[in-house]
Amino acid sequence: MRVLTRSLIPTFAAAVLCTLAFSAQALPLMDMKAEDLMPMVGEFKKSLNLSPNQQTLWQQTESKTRNLLRERQARRERLQAAAKAGLEAPNVELRDLVGAVDAETATSAAEEKQIRAWWLEVNDALSDAQRKQVAQIITEQLLRVPDSGRGGESRPHEDGGEHNRGGHRRGMGGSGGAGQPGG
């Protein structure tokens, strides 16, 4: 059980950051993204009372993560502009646009895996008490998530539109945040 807990804690640690920011409305684990979790890193770091060595590792990891996310945002903005320009072309080929979105999805998945690896290194540097603190916060967050058994399915919304579990409208350009392809 300890091995399982130690391997899951870093994955969930990012969820904890979101907990602090969105404690009133919990998000299912699979809906949480690194860019949603980073705003609360500083506050979470304070609550762990890190040693100087842990703080150094944390700061390095946070910096690498923020840089990667900044690069991702710039890449997605370029993709958005290219898609808009492509759609304005007289003989638009949607398959070309889908290929670019698929490539971004694959790149983002690899980046998420890299981010998890970096934060696993931070987790390895935490004391047992700090890991327990992380686990408690994560447990509280996961207990707040209603278990509807519907996964990421759409649900009707009061305005009659269809929304995903994160509350974003589904449809053309509505699957992610802020009009970015692939969310």
Could you give the CA distance from residue 115 to residue 175 in angstroms, rounded to a whole number?
Answer: 22
Q: What is the pLDDT of residue 15?
A: 44
Q: What is the pLDDT of residue 70?
A: 96
For the entire predicted model, the pTM comes to 0.63
Q: What is the pLDDT of residue 36?
A: 72
Predicted confidence pLDDT, tens digits, the chain (183 residues): 444 444 444 444 444 443 443 444 466 777 667 887 787 777 788 889 999 999 999 999 999 999 999 999 999 999 999 999 989 988 888 888 899 999 999 999 999 999 999 998 998 999 999 999 878 777 776 676 665 554 444 444 444 444 444 444 334 343 344 444 444
52-88 vs 41-48: helix axis angle to the nearest 10? 160
| H helix or E strand, kind and range, residue 162 | strand 162-163
94-114 residues labelled b (16+ CB within 10 A) or e (exposed): eeebeebeeebeeebeebeee
Q: What is the pLDDT of residue 59?
A: 95
Q: What is the pLDDT of residue 63?
A: 96
**Helix %, strand %, coil % for the chain, to 5?**
70, 5, 30
Residue with tokens 């890991």: 131
Could you give the CA distance from residue 168 to residue 175 in angstroms, rounded to a whole number?
Answer: 7
Mean pLDDT, the chain, as a whole number?
A: 73
Q: What is the pLDDT of residue 144?
A: 67
